[in-house]
Structure 1
């Protein structure tokens, strides 16, 4: 047999392992488990590990519950923690990862670890899972935040699940980044600093684009950790977010493998170019993952974890879409800006996601055209010319600076000759409702008619005598035009009976002939929505107690106006009692940020203590959460059980009362000039109806026997009444539409929803009612509200005592004055002329004294009320502080106690077998 001989010095060079390559098969579970167990147990056998966990829970609970915003928002959620959690992990994750590799190298145990028959990947995964297990335990300890929220209110458990999933995915990705930093140094402190710097890169990547412009910055910001976590915190689990965190985790683990594999090939002649080769391989992996993230993001798949299923098409939407006729397909053209400020990212994502879902569920009945639109582009010109969709300038706060930009976010719906356009989707618009309504309206050939009766409220717009200019139509009219055929109706002629609904704002401003025409329409069975207000805040001059303004404005000109008519016949017909001089007030206010609102701003909600705040049996109100009325009136059934049925829709709580219009209003030269700051609020302990449904047969007035004959008696039929009355015109004022559009102070009132529901109910089309109510449940801190409500009750009692005391003193002063007058009049030694002079002098002096006494008594009353309010505020702050201390102090106790037990056990083991003399 021939033998291969080699000359000395001519030995073949040993094979050099390629980066990351090993002769041992990877993914051996017992090796991964052994490495995991070693690192995991070493962390929890050391009391220092519990110190980090305790600090993590303490800081997170402080961030979540200590800030004033938590009590100001009055919501049982983790919004405050969501804003700061990525930056909290910036310091906590490096504390976990700093010793994974650096400590091994410092102690020299890395050589022993690498000589074991284990693949590099097994060692990396074992250490990664150990760090991830430590972080998971810390997160489990922090779930005590959910117990705190459950004590304070009723959090959405679905949103909490997605939130904690986002926390876990953020930590999982940053741990892989921190391991890279630990692998680069043998010093634990240096590893911690490098870990914080490396983890800061994906957190602050959005700031890298700021020197070059806003568009690049927004693109980079979409790749930042806070931006990717945002959907998880809102109750959505997006596929793109999952892929982002998992892919970056895999990339960082691969980088760990490359850096760890350097020991096989670093140094020597054969290692030339291998470092560059490894870097190119890692960059290729990043590019592949970047491309994968873009593709996954385009798919738009996401799971809705919220209890209300806010990010999923509701059954009502699917049913309405299924009814689209096959011969009337709907074309949807959405013009949107590819780059929008961060405040509008969620709205754009919801809009595009729901449009894609509509198209997928329509089975070809909906054709979708998504058009990315830049300002001044061809698409922008087409959007403006064809549909009137223009860019809207929006403002955003960024790094203490306010910037503005013009963006497109409009949608056009066409089907045959029908067309509906939504020029812009503001942040507060309910996206699914707007889309579903537009699709249904455009796919139908006939729309029902809604008439707006012309009154002094000028809902349809017109000339304003106060400003001597044209006023635009109210937003409620614009909203109704999206669904109905809306027209102005003159009250000077008989009202056409073909109207689906007649909306009447402030009927008390009509003249008598106009009221008669309205009464005839209601008597004929016409569906009518009455908005009646004793004190319209936006325009007090049209209050029932204020005379009709002259045509030429307050400074005259022209013939005197025809006086206001008598509304009593209409109210008698519909069995309604509406005191025009009584204004409802209430002390219930669930919004600490609105604490300065006067009690005449009445909040209606389930948390008020009134079980029937929203009538659950009526479609217009079932499912509503909160409504605000401004200086509203009250409604009552006039004839008891006789006449049409009176069904309350909205009711205030019993924590209030009524004040007279004359006491609430401050009169001036031009009439009602404002609100009287010295008005008195005396609690009545009665709940008041602010809106009611009135339906049924009207009471037929009895006629004299002489006027009756058999034929007419046989033809007489009672009128069928179909009316909804609301004792507040301001319920649909512009400020509520502005709050709805812009989400001001995160307020979410149902004013607009309620009025639109009333119109739909009267029109007999309730297909949008359920969909319109779909929004996040207002989950308040009920525990705090229940404790502070007793303080408000005490304040009302103290106010009543002060009012009664002031009234008693004034009565005593008046009696003393009357007594002096009687004494002068009873004197017989004076003639009548002398008595008149003495009485005049006495009255002048006594009146001055009485005025001084009244002012003194009024000041004492106001001081007493102020002291009561200050005491109530102090007690409320004490409750909030108690909640702060409990919420921030109790959650860290379990890991702290566990750490102390581990420390005591460790000391005990160290002292076992030691000499007692040595321990002494």
Structure 2
């Protein structure tokens, strides 16, 4: 074992003014700290056992990060799984590093030699601390191979990865100081390890320790726990309060090391009793001061955003919109929030309050902010409910495997003059910055733009349903539009006014001919319109274009039959769109393994599908979007011919799909459509389809009437061609309630851009694109591209196998039908039978052959389904094989470097021990 390098005798003694109370030795001498650091670091890395611990750490962290099914289910290139378990992994790894710090010195008797040398206690403590921190840093560097695995599988956010590893390092820095305290209390390394794990468990499980107390104290203790402080680092935010928490608490633990190490100077005897109490009070005062200072720093809200998308930084669009607020129209913001909220809403509340304060500071007095902590049944709660309709929301939270519910306030009211916008509650998935910026901009304007909702059988504005005899609420898309626009209901029975900035039309195929003519006239006059054209609305299949209008009282009602649906073709011809009402698009691309059971008619649109222009990059409504889901959508085509408005695709599928007819999809029943046909066939067409398009420009010229010779010389005013301004979306379910619910509740990683896309379309038509860029601000959907590419081949093979099975089944059915037709022809051509006998024989043949044909059809259908099932099972098996290969490689390769180094050190050490030894003694 190497010994501490003593100070050379040639050095001059320290000046008397620099001497300390401890034997006249001043602290913070770099060469002493370096000597202790080098001694402990060399001792650890010259022992193969040290490499075993590092190898074990890298292996376990790799298994935690990549072995779980959740990693492949989420299909995201991040370290979310490792972030969740890293504090508990360090709970055992850190004590393995620190257990030798003091306990081994005492066991070998070298502590007396170390502590009697001319070195200050603080220098020795810091030297040992930096050595342990260096060991942990080396282990983290070896574990950084996880980034290589993620880079191979996808495209991780390197900024988030950097802040995540900074958080890992800070956690280790704190826990090492805690573990050294445990090592000081025992001379047995095993006991030191156990005590280290117990001591490290206190800051890690601090939230659980406070759980029995309940209420604000529990939440405060939970916020001071290591996992809670690390959370911001894991999402790409480096907070000043988090840095101070880890550094300050580590310093406090090092101070405790100093106290315990210095006890040798005064421990023992009656006088030591008071000194123990004095030391405990001093340490408690240090801890209390540090936590108080940490609370003050938390209120500052200083943070650095390391994410690539700068999700936690005020965007340039928000700053520009705030700067545009007029001095004579200041905005008053009143926020009502619960002082204590469940764990799931802490991040939302923090972001909300931090952003509000940032807005107020940026506005230079044009935004007046009033933050009101609001308890249930308090005066503030009554004011929030009476003035703004802000009520407490009951939310469900899970704590230690128990579910509980509580009511919390998290609402904001914006007022400026007579304008008022209220957000009653900020759900977890609500984009906070977008909601705040939009609300501020809307109330600061003198006038809102006007959006109309055309009344159709879809009933977007809600109202009385004559078929179900019940009241239906307005759609969430209407509620969302009311936050920004003046929204009114528009009747299609009369000519539509042209003063709307945008008109939303859901399922225009359900209108009567007169209503369609009124809509056509509006579009022809240049009225901006957003058309939802859906061949099979999943939420309400009865309004499909192929389903006739039902009587108001249902099939048993006594009301007269309603006026039937009109012909939509003139409107589609005017805008230059071809929309086959009987064709439904399906596609096999699905980037969410947890949703693998969804039918292929649930079409996912994204860049990972292989379609380069899945989202048109040149259109502001779609550029920057990441993923959209459509349910049983239709397809749009340009009428072509060169004449008419310009047809610009907005959303496109990949070529890994095809079309299925409406009649084969819908399962008819006595009461109408009863469901979806489970035996529908999916034949790939190897063609991509347009699901949404913008149509803008001059309409195709209408044919001129034949000229009258008598009026040849008459001059007629020249008619200008109609200017078309339409966006068509071949799916109404794109704005169904489930997508708004997913957006509000922030379920797993299902973050779709459906709502964003539709709102962008309205803004583009209305000529107000100030919120389009801000609305797209969200984390990039970084999928495991490498796995998707490999499984894509399996999906294509499955489609080809399915097509082969369908073709084979069709050929067999055709052969069976031909055999039956041949038998019929043979009977008909017989001349030895009269007509009556032929009819009897044909009837008998028909009955027998039909039974055989039905049996044969069922047999062929079963064979086809079996082939398809086998193909799916084979594809699933190959996908699992790929995932398992990634698991094994990710868990096996990263630990190899430290393991190889450990073997080299072991062999080198063995050779040195045997060097110079007698061969006879070695042989013996």
So what's the TM-score if we normalise by structure 1?
Answer: 0.97
Distance 1:22 1:646, change over 3 A: farther
1:746-801 Cα offsets, whole Å, 9 max, x none, are 20000000000000000000000000000000000000000000000000000000
TM-aligned CA deviation for residue 837 of structure 1: 2.4
Shift of the 557–19 alpha-carbon distance from structure 1 to 2, 3 Å rule, reads: farther
Given candidates 908, 915, 920, the residue that maps to 2:918 is 915
Equivalent pair of 1:19/1:265 in contact (CA under 8 Å): no
Q: Is this contact kept in 2: 1:238–1:300, CA < 8 A? A: yes
Deviation at 1:272, TM superposition (A): 4.2
Deviation at residue 640 of structure 1 after TM alignment: 3.2
1:811 maps to what in 2?
814
Q: Are 2:595 and 1:594 aligned? A: yes
1:740 corresponds to 2:743: yes
Q: 1:228 to 1:711 in 2, by over 3 A?
A: farther
1:354 aligns with 2:355: yes
| Alignment check: 8 A CA contact 2:178 2:196 kept | yes
Unaligned runs of 5+ in 1: 1-17
CA distance in 2, matches of 1:842, 1:238: 85
Aligned pairs for 1:327-476 (under 5 A) are 327-476=328-477
Using the TM superposition, give the Cα deviation of residue 641 of structure 1 relative to its aligned residue in structure 2, in angstroms: 1.9
Could you list the per-position Cα deviations for residues 297-335 of structure 1 after superposition, in whole angstroms to 9, with x for gaps in the alignment?
A: 111111100000000011011000000001111111111
CA deviation after TM superposition for structure 1 residue 20, in Å: 8.6
- Looking at structure 2, the residues matched to 20 and 281 of structure 1 have their Cα atoms a distance apart, in angstroms, of 18
Q: Is the 8 A contact 2:45 2:51 kept in 1?
A: yes
Which residue of the partner structure matches residue 88 of structure 1? 89
- Which of the numbers 826, 830, 844 marks the counterpart of 2:847? 844
Give the 3-state SS of the residue equivalent to 1:262 in structure 2: helix
Other structure's SS at 1:136 match: helix
Change (3 A) 1:143 1:607: same
- 1:462 deviates by 1.3
SS of structure 2 residue aligned to 1:724: strand
CA contact (8 A) 1:389 1:410 kept: yes
Structure 1, 725-734 or 669-678: larger mean CA deviation = 669-678
Distance 2:914 2:467 in 1: 90
For 1:170 and 1:204, locate their aligned partners in 2 and report how far apart those are by CA, in whole Å: 13
**Quick check: 2:467–2:552 contact (8 Å CA) kept in 1?**
no
* Partner Cα separation in structure 2 for residue 712 and residue 775 of structure 1: 59
Match of 1:757 in 2: 760
Deviation at residue 835 of structure 1 after TM alignment: 2.1
Distance 2:724 2:208 in 1: 63
* Partner residue in 2 for 1:890: 893
Q: Corresponding residue for 1:296?
A: 297
Structure 1 residues 279 and 817: alpha-carbon distance in aligned structure 2, compared to 1, 3 A threshold: same
Contact 2:467 2:553 in 1 (8 A): no
Counterpart residue number, 2:267:
266
For residues 500 and 269 of structure 1, what CA distance do their matches in structure 2 show?
88
Taking a change above 3 Å as real, the CA distance of residues 325 and 858 of structure 1, as seen in their structure-2 partners, is: same
C-alpha distance in 2, partners of 1:534/1:269?
92
CA distance in 2, matches of 1:829, 1:591: 68
Which residue pairs with 1:10 in the alignment? none
Q: Confirm or deny: 8 A CA contact 1:441 1:447 kept in the other structure.
A: yes
Deviations 1:3-40 (A, max 9, x none): xxxxxxxxxxxxxxx99955311110000000101001
Q: In 2, distance between residues paired with 1:709 and 1:654?
A: 55
The whole-number CA distance in structure 1 between the counterparts of 2:224 and 2:492 is 60
Residues 896-917 of structure 1: per-residue CA shift (max 9 Å, x gap):
0000000000001011101112
Counterpart CA distance in 2 for 1:63 and 1:713 is 80
Deviation at 1:440, TM superposition (A): 0.2
Q: For the residues of structure 2 that align with 1:151 and 1:817, how far apart are their CA atoms?
A: 59
Q: CA, structure 1 residues 711+111, in 2 after alignment: closer, same or farther (shift >3 Å)?
A: farther
SS of the residue corresponding to residue 617 of structure 1 reads: coil
Note the C-alpha offset of 1:919.
2.1
Q: Give the Cα separation in 1 of the matches to 2:467 and 2:715.
A: 50
Tell me if structure 2 keeps the 8 A contact 1:20–1:257.
no
Instruction: Spell out, residue by residue over 1:350-393, the C-alpha distance to the aligned partner (whole angstroms, 9 max, x if none).
Output: 11111111111111111111111111111111111111111111
Residues 482-881 of structure 1: matches in 2 within 5 Å? 482-706=483-707, 713-881=716-884
Unaligned runs of 5+ in 2: 1-18
Question: Using a 3 Å threshold, how does the CA distance of structure 1 residues 239 and 20 change in structure 2: closer, same or farther?
Answer: farther
The alpha-carbon distance between structure 1 residues 603 and 195, as it changes in their structure 2 partners (threshold 3 A), is: same
What is the SS of the residue equivalent to 1:696? strand
Residues 709 and 164 (structure 1), Cα distance of their counterparts in 2 relative to 1, 3 Å cut? farther
CA apart distance, 1:840: 2.0
Give distance in 2, aligned partners of 1:86 and 1:217. 19
Higher deviation after alignment, 712-721 or 659-668: 712-721
Distance 2:542 2:217 in 1: 53
Q: Is the 8 A contact 1:413 1:420 kept in 2?
A: yes
* CA-CA distance at 1:653 after TM superposition: 0.3
Give the 3-state SS of the residue equivalent to 1:714 in structure 2.
coil
Deviates further, 353-362 or 572-581? 353-362
Shift of 1:214: 4.2
1:15 aligned residue: none
User: 1:19 touches 1:258 (CA, 8 Å); kept in 2?
Assistant: no
Supply the distance in 1 between the matched residues of 2:441 and 2:839 (Cα, whole angstroms).
81
Shift of 1:809: 0.4
Distance (Å, rounded) in 2 between the aligned partners of 1:348 and 1:531: 36
Indicate the SS of the match to 2:717: helix
Moved more, 325-334 or 720-729: 325-334
Q: Residue 247 of structure 1 aligns with which residue? A: 248
Task: Answer yes or no: is the 8 Å Cα contact 2:20–2:27 preserved in 1.
Answer: no
Q: Say whether residues 1:57 and 2:55 are aligned partners.
A: no
Give how far 1:845 is off.
1.7
Tell me how far 1:342 sits from its aligned partner: 1.2
CA offsets 1:389-409 (integer angstroms, 9 cap, x no match): 111111122222211111111
Q: What CA distance in whole angstroms lies between the structure 2 residues aligned with 1:175 and 1:31?
A: 20
Deviations 1:445-477 (A, max 9, x none): 100000000000001101224432101000000
Greater alpha carbon shift after TM alignment, 129-138 vs 710-719: 710-719
- Give the secondary structure class of the aligned counterpart of 1:853: helix
Question: SS where residue 403 of structure 2 aligns?
Answer: strand
Specify the alignment match of 2:279 in structure 1. Answer: 278
Q: Give distance in 2, aligned partners of 1:783 and 1:66.
A: 17
- Alignment partners' CA distance in 1, 2:562 and 2:845: 45
Q: Which residue of 1 aligns with 2:10?
A: none
- Larger deviation: 764-773 or 360-369? 360-369
Distance 2:33 2:189 in 1: 23
- Alignment partners' CA distance in 2, 1:382 and 1:72: 46
* Partner SS state of residue 612, structure 2: coil
- Aligned 8 A contact 2:502 2:530 in 1: yes
Asked if residue 154 in structure 1 is aligned to residue 155 in structure 2, the reply is yes
CA contact (8 A) 2:136 2:172 kept: yes
1:348, CA displacement in angstroms? 1.1
Calculate the TM-score normalised by the size of structure 2: 0.97
The alpha carbon displacement at 1:827 in A equals 1.7
Residues 536 and 584, structure 2, Cα contact 8 Å, conserved in 1: yes
- 3-state SS of paired residue (1:682): coil
Residues 597-649 of structure 1 deviation map (CA, whole Å, 9 limit, x = unaligned): 00000000000000010000000000000000100000001133210000000
Matched with 2:208 is 207
1:17-65 CA deviation, whole Å, 9 max, x = no partner?
Answer: x999553111100000001010011000000000000000000000000
Contact 1:501 1:529 in 2 (8 A): yes
